[in-house]
Structures are given as C-alpha cells and as structure tokens.
Amino acid sequence: MLCAPPDNTLKGIRDRAILAILLYHGLRREELCRLKVKDIEHRQGLPHFMVYGKRDRIRYVPLHPAATRLLNANRTMDCRIEEADSPLFRPVKNNTSKILHKHLHSDSIYKLVRRYASQVGLLSKIINIGPHAMRATAATNALEHAADIAKVQEMLGHSNISTTKLYDRRSSNPEESPVFKIEF
C-alpha cells in the first residue's frame, strides 16, 4: 500500500509520507493532521515528532528512517512548507474553498487510506480498513518484532496498557497457554 501513490507527483509523494507515518508511527488521524513543521525536532540525536494526543498530552515519537526519507521528499517537492507554523500536510487542491494553506482534514486521511487500500485490493479483503486499522497494524508489527508493550503504549499515547493490549492482533498459539505451565 505504501507504493500505491505515484512517486512523481506532489500528491503522490505527500500521500506516501502520510501512509508511512500511519504505518510506522501509529498516529491517530487527528494527530497526523495537526502536525506542523516545528513539530519535528531533534532529541538525543534523532528526529522526533512532537505529537499532541488526546487531552492535549504531548508525546515524542522517534521518526522511522523510511518515514523520514518520505517526509523529506514531500518537503522538498512542496515549496509551501517553509515556516515553522506551517502544517506538515496540506491539500494539493481544494475545489470548494480554494484554501490550500490549512492542514488536511481528518476525513481526508480516512478517504486517502480507503482509496489506496481499494487500489491495491485490500478493501475487498479487509472491510474495516482505515487509519485506525493502520494504527493497530503498527502496534501489532512492533510487538511481533519484540518491542516492549510498555514502549508501544508510549508510542501510541495510551494512558493504560490494557488499551494497548486491545491493539495486539498477534494470533495466540495454543501451545503457549498457561495451562501447559501448570504442574502438580
């Protein structure tokens, strides 16, 4: 799905960066839409997103190298992203109001994900695919690759680890059941 948007148009490059951020960082669509240029800052030698989560809680999420590369390509191609207060992702065209300097609307992110999911044939396989499903995919993928669940909780901005456990879509193996750990 990351390769579905064209890599030779502003919209395609922007959309690739958006999909990468959803898949690699597990941001909520509202969090992604609120990102500004100034929200990318270096901490401990690495670029991080300063993410404004629910209830305006701030968390810092390190940027994945692939997402960084796509973000840089987007910023290079989109000459409108200059000032620190500029939205990181803007509309490429707006037939209704013609305003292009505001951030994308969260509904646009939903439509963007559904469009590319349909384009690559995922919509017929995963009916509920959307930005939130990509958030769960990011959490599951991190956990499958031995990430600590507490770190995944921090990345997703969950205040309670039980919420993070709901995002864990790894299939459980019956042979790992506690039943087999009991001895008398």
Active site residue 135: yes
Catalytic residue among 48, 64, 132, 165: 132
Q: Is the dihedral of CA 135, 52, 99, 47 positive or negative?
A: negative
- Beta strand extents in the chain (DSSP E only): 40-43, 46-52, 58-62
Catalytic residue among 25, 34, 116, 167: 167
Dihedral angle at the C-alpha atoms of 52, 56, 57, 63, nearest 10 degrees?
0
Active site residue 54: yes
Eight-state DSSP code of residue 27: -
Active site residue 151: no
Q: Which residue's structure tokens are 């509920």?
A: 128
Active site residue 110: no
Catalytic residue among 14, 16, 28, 34: 28
Catalytic residue among 38, 43, 54, 102: 54
Active site residue 11: no
Q: Is the dihedral of CA 100, 105, 107, 110 positive or negative?
A: positive
For 144-180, letters b (16+ CB in 10 Å) and e give eeeeeeeebbebbbbeeeeebeebeeeeeeeeeeeee
Degrees (nearest 5) of the Cα angle 101, 40, 86?
15
Residues serving a catalytic function are: 28, 54, 132, 135, 158, 167
